[in-house]
């Protein structure tokens, strides 16, 4: 039910007020007279108490006339509609004051019809304003409900560098985000949940940790990135984000987490760089272990020796694994591990980094060999877990040795399946195109995008006979079927099986079956071999 429109009548004469009250049926217009006043002071008190939508006021009143009163009301309550009731003599002067926002004028003596028309017009205006206000309020409620998600979208655009700095300051003001100054630093918190039962459990665990993070990192921006990592943006130069993250880690030792911290930046558009650094630091969890805070500025030094000094060894290792040279691959891996100074403070970290890199290379090789992505994903999880348990060089050597052997064995198996599938595809092609006079090793190799020499070697090894031997066998078997029908001559059969030279066909037939074509056709009793 719509709220009634409220009206106040202001006039120093009772009869005039009474006349207005009774000139039309206010209830039928959904208008309620909520008060009467004989002067401006009384009226102002009524307005404060009732907040009317419409005021009817006489122009000539003691203490304060109707125009001054109207001006005062419009200054304080601009949404209130005011109708000034005036005598003819004052009408022209009153009209001059229309700029102050008076809605209408009614000249005495009061006409019922004039009052009705004026009120009806005001009623439409008020109802439209109310409707607009309701729509605006609904939209505002919707906006406020979605504000957290809108902010989160903005934060993700910010850390990815997908924004125009000049425009974004206005955008931030609109969203109520305060990121000013010249101090920006990003931390990324990863919740490791390998043992989580399902996706729902992982999500709930992440949300629980997110709530803890928002409570702990008060005054900072905390949200989820697109990969469900908890991101913290620090804009306060008086707060050490690294120490803050260590405190968060200490308070949440029951959770399996790792935190990467990027370097400090002095420009808003560099937040994305600090974010990338935080993710890079996170990648070193294989090296330093879980439940640790990794500062990006520290990882370069720890990884420099491995990545620079062992580049050629890594290339040799890659080549050896792909070439399935087990002994050479193990030797190259041992050499990489030998380059680590086991007496250094970060020896364990360096060992884990090296083993992690070797493991990543093995998984990449398996992926390139054709192993499915689900297998690689599961292996990656398993390998990461096992690498984190390595703390000595002998453990590292033993693990790497076993991993390389396993990788090469799997690659060989996958490759064998590929070869078998390829040979079967070639056989199928021959079975379907044996009648093509131009069918040859070279033509089939071209169709399969293979090197003819490679196809020749591989086919013979897998099929137990050469390409031409298999082709000949197919043609001879098809020829025997056609000859048994006794519908074709020898030269016709030769043509049908892809051998245009009849003499050559007869020679091949005798060599394959040990009997001449003519003898075969005349024989009353076929040998068992036929």
Backbone angles phi, psi at 439, to 5 degrees: -65, 125
Give the rounded percent of residues in the chain with a pLDDT score beyond 90: 28
pLDDT attached to residue 167:
64
Lowest-confidence region among 32-41, 160-169, 510-519: 160-169
Q: How far apart are CA 186 and CA 188, in angstroms?
A: 7
Task: Tell me which DSSP letter residue 232 carries.
Answer: E
Question: Does the pLDDT of residue 196 top 60, yes or no?
Answer: no
State the CATH number of the domain containing residue 109: 3.40.50.2300
CB 188 within 8 A of CB 209: no
| 223 vs 390, residue with greater confidence | 223
Residue 483's CB is within 10 A of a number of other CB atoms, namely 18
Residue 236's CB is within 10 A of a number of other CB atoms, namely 13
315 within a domain of the structure (yes/no): yes
pLDDT attached to residue 188:
95
pLDDT attached to residue 524:
37
Section 393-420 average pLDDT? 78
Question: Does the pLDDT of residue 5 top 90, yes or no?
Answer: yes
Q: Are residues 333 and 292 in the same domain?
A: no
Cα separation values, 516 from 425, 489, 503, 510, 521, Å: 33, 13, 11, 5, 9
Out of 368, 389, 416, pick the residue that ends a domain. 416
| 238 vs 410, residue with greater confidence | 238
- DSSP labels for 87-130? -HHHHHHHHTTGGG---EEEESSPPHHHHHHHHHHHHHHHHHHH
Backbone angles phi, psi at 261, to 5 degrees: -125, 125
157 within a domain of the structure (yes/no): no
238 within a domain of the structure (yes/no): yes
- E strands, 237-288, are 257-261
Q: pLDDT-derived band of residue 305, with 50, 70 and 90 as boundaries?
A: very low
pLDDT digits (tens, 9 = 90+) for 118-136: 999 999 999 998 888 888 8
Q: Are residues 10 and 124 in the same domain?
A: yes
Evaluate the omega torsion of the peptide bond into residue 109 and state whether it is cis, within 30 degrees of 0.
yes
- Chain centroid to Cα 388, Å, comes to 29
Q: How far apart are CA 257 and CA 293, in angstroms?
A: 9
141 within a domain of the structure (yes/no): no
Q: Smallest Cα–Cα separation from 388: which of 147, 127, 192?
A: 192
pLDDT attached to residue 126:
92
Tokens (6 digits) for 3: 């709220």
Q: pLDDT-derived band of residue 262, with 50, 70 and 90 as boundaries?
A: very high
Q: Are residues 410 and 327 in the same domain?
A: yes
69 within a domain of the structure (yes/no): yes
Strands 221-224 and 104-107, bridge-based pairing: unpaired
Lowest-confidence region among 190-199, 400-409, 502-511: 190-199
Domain count, the chain: 4
Tokens (6 digits) for 480: 């025997």
- Chain centroid to Cα 66, Å, comes to 64
Section 151-174 average pLDDT? 76
Q: How far apart are CA 359 and CA 404, in angstroms?
A: 8
Domain enclosing residue 259, as ranges? 178-302
Section 452-468 average pLDDT? 84
Q: How far apart are CA 95 and CA 121, in angstroms?
A: 18
Q: Are residues 287 and 317 in the same domain?
A: no
pLDDT attached to residue 210:
92
Q: How far apart are CA 228 and CA 203, in angstroms?
A: 8
CA angle 345, 349, 353 (to 5 degrees): 140
pLDDT attached to residue 527:
47
Q: Are residues 255 and 350 in the same domain?
A: no
Cα separation values, 157 from 146, 163, 168, 174, 220, Å: 17, 6, 10, 16, 17
470 within a domain of the structure (yes/no): yes
Q: Are residues 399 and 508 in the same domain?
A: no
State the CATH number of the domain containing residue 485: 1.10.10.60
Q: Smallest Cα–Cα separation from 420: which of 464, 367, 479, 359?
A: 464
pLDDT attached to residue 348:
74
Q: Smallest Cα–Cα separation from 188: which of 303, 253, 284?
A: 284
Q: How far apart are CA 366 and CA 340, in angstroms?
A: 27
Q: pLDDT-derived band of residue 308, with 50, 70 and 90 as boundaries?
A: very low
- The whole-chain average pLDDT of the chain stands at 83
Q: Where are the alpha helices (DSSP H) in 160-176?
A: 165-175
Out of 359, 390, 416, pick the residue that ends a domain. 416
pLDDT attached to residue 40:
92
Cα separation values, 10 from 34, 115, 212, 425, Å: 12, 15, 60, 100
85 within a domain of the structure (yes/no): yes
State the CATH number of the domain containing residue 285: 3.30.70.270
Residue 285's CB is within 10 A of a number of other CB atoms, namely 23
Q: How far apart are CA 398 and CA 430, in angstroms?
A: 48
pLDDT attached to residue 32:
93
Q: Are residues 34 and 94 in the same domain?
A: yes
pLDDT digits (tens, 9 = 90+) for 376-404: 677 777 888 888 888 677 888 898 899 88
Q: Are residues 282 and 394 in the same domain?
A: no
Strands 185-191 and 230-234, bridge-based pairing: antiparallel
Question: Does the pLDDT of residue 290 top 70, yes or no?
Answer: no
Q: Are residues 410 and 325 in the same domain?
A: yes
pLDDT attached to residue 287:
47
pLDDT digits (tens, 9 = 90+) for 75-88: 999 999 999 888 75
Q: Are residues 211 and 228 in the same domain?
A: yes
102 within a domain of the structure (yes/no): yes
CB 206 within 8 A of CB 198: no
Out of 274, 302, 330, pick the residue that ends a domain. 302
pLDDT attached to residue 246:
92
Q: pLDDT-derived band of residue 218, with 50, 70 and 90 as boundaries?
A: very high
Q: Are residues 125 and 48 in the same domain?
A: yes
Section 419-440 average pLDDT? 85
Q: How far apart are CA 107 and CA 89, in angstroms?
A: 9
| 344 vs 423, residue with greater confidence | 423
Lowest-confidence region among 96-105, 137-146, 283-292, 446-455: 283-292
Q: Are residues 276 and 358 in the same domain?
A: no
Provide the whole-model pTM. 0.42
């Amino acid at each position: 039910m719509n709220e009634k429109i409220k009206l106040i009548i202001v006039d120093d004469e009772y009869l005039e007020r009474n006349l207005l009250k009774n000139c039309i049926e206010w209830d039928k217009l959904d208008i309620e007279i909520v008060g009467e006043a004989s002067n401006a002071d009384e009226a102002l008190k009524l307005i404060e108490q009732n907040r009317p939508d419409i005021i009817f006021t006489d122009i000539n009143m003691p203490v304060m006339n109707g125009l001054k009163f109207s001006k005062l009301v419009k200054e304080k309550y601009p949404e209130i509609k005011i109708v000034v009731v005036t005598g003819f003599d004052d009408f022209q002067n009153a009209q001059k004051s229309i700029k102050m926002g008076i809605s209408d004028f009614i000249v005495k003596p009061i006409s019922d019809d004039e009052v009705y028309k004026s009120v009806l017009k005001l009623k439409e205006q008020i109802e439209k304003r109310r409707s607009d206000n309701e729509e605006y309020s609904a939209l505002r409620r919707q906006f406020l409900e979605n504000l957290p998600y809108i902010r989160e979208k903005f934060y993700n655009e910010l850390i990815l560098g997908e924004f125009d700095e000049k425009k974004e300051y206005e955008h931030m003001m609109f969203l109520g985000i305060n990121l000013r100054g010249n101090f920006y630093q990003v931390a990324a918190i990863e919740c490791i949940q390998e043992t989580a039962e399902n996706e729902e459990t992982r999500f709930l665990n992440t949300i629980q940790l997110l709530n803890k993070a928002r409570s702990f990192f008060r005054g900072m921006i905390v949200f989820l990135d697109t990969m469900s990592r908890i991101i913290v943006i620090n804009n306060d130069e008086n707060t050490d984000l690294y120490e803050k993250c260590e405190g968060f880690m200490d308070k949440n030792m029951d959770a399996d987490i790792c935190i990467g911290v990027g370097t400090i930046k002095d420009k808003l558009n560099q937040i994305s760089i600090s974010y990338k650094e935080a993710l890079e630091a996170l990648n070193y969890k294989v090296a330093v272990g879980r439940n640790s805070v990794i500062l990006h500025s520290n990882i370069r030094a720890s990884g420099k020796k491995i990545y620079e000094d062992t580049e050629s060894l890594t290339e040799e290792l890659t080549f050896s694994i792909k070439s399935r040279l087990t002994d050479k691959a193990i030797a190259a891996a041992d050499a990489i591990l030998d380059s680590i100074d086991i007496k250094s403070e970060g020896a364990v970290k360096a060992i884990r980094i090296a083993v992690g890199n070797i493991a990543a290379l093995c998984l990449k090789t398996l992926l390139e060999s054709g192993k499915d992505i689900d297998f690689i994903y599961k292996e990656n999880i398993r390998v990461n877990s096992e690498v984190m348990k390595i703390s000595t060089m002998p453990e590292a050597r033993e693990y790497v040795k076993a991993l390389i052997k396993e990788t090469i064995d799997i690659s060989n198996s996958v490759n064998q399946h590929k070869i078998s599938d390829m040979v079967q595809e070639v056989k199928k092609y021959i079975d379907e195109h044996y009648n093509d006079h131009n069918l040859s090793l070279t033509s089939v190799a071209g169709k399969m995008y293979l090197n003819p020499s490679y196809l020749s070697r591989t086919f013979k090894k897998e099929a137990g006979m050469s390409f031409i031997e298999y082709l000949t066998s197919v043609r001879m078997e098809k020829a025997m079927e056609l000859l048994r029908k006794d519908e074709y001559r020898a030269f016709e059969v030769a043509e049908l099986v892809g051998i245009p030279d009849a003499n050559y066909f007869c020679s091949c037939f005798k060599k394959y079956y040990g009997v001449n074509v003519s003898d075969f056709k005349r024989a009353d009793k076929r040998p068992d071999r036929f």
